[in-house]
Amino acid sequence: MSISQHPDYAEETQYLSHTLQELEKTLKIMQKRASDLSVEVHEKNRQVTNDSSQDYIDLMVGSALLSYASNKTEALEAVRQAPYFARIDFREDKKQETERFYLGKTSIIEEEDQKLLVVDWRAPVANLYYEGRIGENHYKAPQGEITGELSRKRQYVISSGALAGISDVDIVTDDELLNACLEANATNRLKEIVGTIQGEQNQIIRSDLWKTLIVQGSAGAGKTTVALHRIAYLLYAYAGTIAGDNFMILGPNQFFLNYISAVLPDLGVGEVKQSTFEDFARAILGKKFKIQDIHHKLRIFLRSKSKPEEIRWLKQESYFKSSQAFIHVCDAYLKHLESNYLPKEGLLLAGQPFMSYKQLQDLFLHSYRHLCFEKRIPEMKKNIQSKLRTQKAAMQKGLEEKCERLREKIIMQYPNDCPQRREAMKALYDKRDALLRNLEAESKTLIAKYLAKIPKTTGLEYYKQLYTDDQLFDQFVRPAAGDFADYLRQYTLEHIRRQTLELEDLAPAMLIAVSVKGLSKSEGIRHVVIDEAQDLSLFQFYMLKRILSNCTFTILGDLYQGIHGYRSIQNWDEVQRIYLPGESASDVKILQKSYRTTIEVVDKAGLIMERLHMNPSYKAIPFLRHGDEVVYQKLDYRSTIAAIGQSILQGRAERGYVTFAVICKNQEDAATAYQSLKEQLPNVQLISEDNAVYDGGISVLPSYLAKGMEFDAVYLPWADASHYGMDALDGKLLYVSMTRALHSLYLYYEDEITPLLAC
């Protein structure tokens, strides 16, 4: 049946037309308001003075109104071609009429009577669309639980302002809109997800801001989109409490951050801080050192020429620095630094004990323990100054009283005015005045002289001392490292001499630096989203929780894709003990359903994890979308390159594919494939760690850079036994590579297919 034959077509078309008209009216009003406010704020900014609090308040109010008008203008412009995607019909209990709610990416209000035409997808009532079933239902609103009957869930396909599709559904999971989204090419998928959010995704998106979430999500389960929509929802639901710049996204690399950056403005999330872990480290530690390429060790492990002994030592070094054992080492070292931070002496005032070392230590270690070392000092200074004023006044009074007693003695000794009496009096007052002057002078410099003895050592220098100082290394590191200690020290000192830190050094150095100096540059952060979290080490998680102790977290990852197992977490229990202590394992949310790729690809990739005996409860469950069979081709190298080139050209011309990836196990293989392919495909790009921009199109990249990405078609040359053996690292790299495919997947091998996939 064509859309025009739908019984509600005329009514729905009329509503769409009216909505679009009202949208344009509101848009013009908002555009003018934003323009006028921009001029007004600019003028107020020129006029505001420090001594005029009213001018400052007016400027802040004007800026807030300008921000709202600008954001609303952008939001309306983004939905001009499709103002809504769904409708729900709901009748509240004790009400006669059923209300219709049209859902879109932003609310639209009729200008004349302020009637709500489109409800923002983040509003409480929208929960009925994402999770409700037809029949008796309820949703939570600010005024409490609203109960009633849900009689309709309708979805729309709107293209260029015209109604192209109508479908009524019961649940969002198995519907035409989701299928259409999944069938779309990679360039549009992230932007069109709002209308297809699934029930289990919706629960995570709308979870309480003030509770940390840990999400285990299979490849293609929508972890990244859930994370971004969660931020968008929280900004809406907690408006006035939290702003965009209170969020930080920690992504695996700049390539990945660039990949998601285009989506954030479309969701109305433009001010969120985005950072890699390395950049966050630089913001804390400064830039007077280099960070070793985070894939340096992985490349050594994947290089055929690497010696087994070298690999074993490097893995042990990484594992130790990322472990609970090294956390204990650094915590003990921090206690040592804390206990020895102050000079081991008390304060004397005018030769008399003023404050003992024990009293000073008690202030530093206990009274101001909640502050970093450096910030405790000003607080101590205030405390000492207060005591000093009291002590100085008491000493001045004591001197005056003593002077008066001595004066009385002089008077008794010399009853009559005589030269001896006058001379004695003068000497007495001169001595008193000298003592008072000394007391005044000492009281002014006493604290400064004491505090000047505290070393101005940076957190990074303290971390380096753990390896450069024989006594410190033997006291703290050697007992934990055992026989491995000398290699660990030598390896780390080589990096220190080159002014280089590797990834495993960053977390302990950051922990020490923030303990010493604080975190002034990131004090505005209140919620942190960590994507690809399976590649973080236990120490990284521990450090982030310690230094961002006032933040909540949304932690998303897939242990099946944990390609840095030599340093990263092995299970979520370790993370849960840090972020959700005392809670049960069921508090880790699991997203198993994979929406990215087809049943055929998910099933083939699942074989790898079965053969590696990975946790079956994390296995991807494919959404019911069939596609092409996974293609295995036994070809030599030249024929493989020719077949890939021909398939890409065919996919672009015949199937409308726009993104293609040739994924190789390592960077060397990727460079080789790139050199061969660029003869056939001039626009092919080679992706490496240095790339900060993803331009789409045809890419050649190593497997470890593919995480978080997706492409219409994926090609894996060298999918043979010599490249991918029965090793956990090989298996995870192959799994990551295969699960990047949205529609088509091709594997090529010359002799034998990898045993991870062999029948």
Percent of the chain's residues with pLDDT above 90: 62
What pLDDT, in 10s, does the model give residues 204-235? 999 999 999 999 999 888 888 899 999 999 99
What is the band of 693 on the pLDDT scale with cuts at 50, 70, 90?
low
Quick one: pLDDT at residue 112?
86
Task: Report the binding-site residues.
Answer: 217-224
- Euclidean distance between CA atoms 406 and 408, whole angstroms: 5
Specify the DSSP element, H or E, that contains 68. helix 53-78
Residue bearing tokens 């001010």:
271
The residue among 198 and 546 whose pLDDT is bigger is: 546
What pLDDT, in 10s, does the model give residues 118-175? 999 999 999 999 999 999 999 999 889 999 999 999 999 999 999 999 999 877 644 4
- Euclidean distance between CA atoms 698 and 674, whole angstroms: 10
What is the band of 295 on the pLDDT scale with cuts at 50, 70, 90?
confident
Tokens of 437: 């002057």
Quick one: pLDDT at residue 362?
96
The number of angstroms, rounded, from the C-alpha of 299 to the middle of its chain's C-alpha atoms is: 26
Do residues 739 and 620 make contact, with C-beta atoms less than 8 angstroms apart? yes
**Among 22-26, 250-254, 712-716, where is mean pLDDT lowest?**
250-254
Quick one: pLDDT at residue 287?
80
In this model, does residue 181 exceed pLDDT 60?
no
Output the average pLDDT for the chain.
89
In this model, does residue 1 exceed pLDDT 80?
no
Counting every residue written for the chain, the total comes to: 759
Partners of residue 118 on adjacent β-strands: 108
- Euclidean distance between CA atoms 138 and 256, whole angstroms: 39
Mean pLDDT of 369-395: 91
Highest mean pLDDT pick, 390-404, 418-432, 639-653: 639-653
What are the residue ranges of CATH 3.40.50.300 in the chain?
A: 609-749
Do residues 605 and 739 make contact, with C-beta atoms less than 8 angstroms apart? yes
Cβ-Cβ contacts under 8 Å for 659 (sequence gap 6 or more): 185, 186, 187, 696, 697, 698, 699, 710, 711, 712, 713
- Measured CA angle at 728 (ends 722, 732), to 5 deg: 90
Q: What is the CATH number of domain 609-749?
A: 3.40.50.300
Mean pLDDT of 587-594: 88
Sheet strands (E) in 409-519? 500-501
In this model, does residue 16 exceed pLDDT 70?
yes
DSSP assigned state of 491: H
In this model, does residue 179 exceed pLDDT 60?
no
Do residues 196 and 171 make contact, with C-beta atoms less than 8 angstroms apart? no
Mean pLDDT of 271-279: 90
In this model, does residue 49 exceed pLDDT 90?
no
Look at phi and psi of residue 206 and say left if phi exceeds 0, alpha if psi is from -120 to 50, else beta: alpha
Q: At what angle do helices 538-547 and 572-579 cross, to 10 degrees?
A: 10
In this model, does residue 183 exceed pLDDT 70?
no
Q: CA nearest 115: which of 211, 25, 228, 31?
A: 25
Task: Report the binding-site residues for ATP.
Answer: 217-224
What is the band of 510 on the pLDDT scale with cuts at 50, 70, 90?
very high
In this model, does residue 188 exceed pLDDT 60?
no
Quick one: pLDDT at residue 224?
86
Do residues 223 and 534 make contact, with C-beta atoms less than 8 angstroms apart? no
In this model, does residue 177 exceed pLDDT 50?
no
- Euclidean distance between CA atoms 600 and 194, whole angstroms: 26
Quick one: pLDDT at residue 522?
62
Q: Which amino acid is at 77?
A: E
Question: How many CB atoms are located within 10 Å of the residue 515 CB?
Answer: 21
Mean pLDDT of 12-24: 96
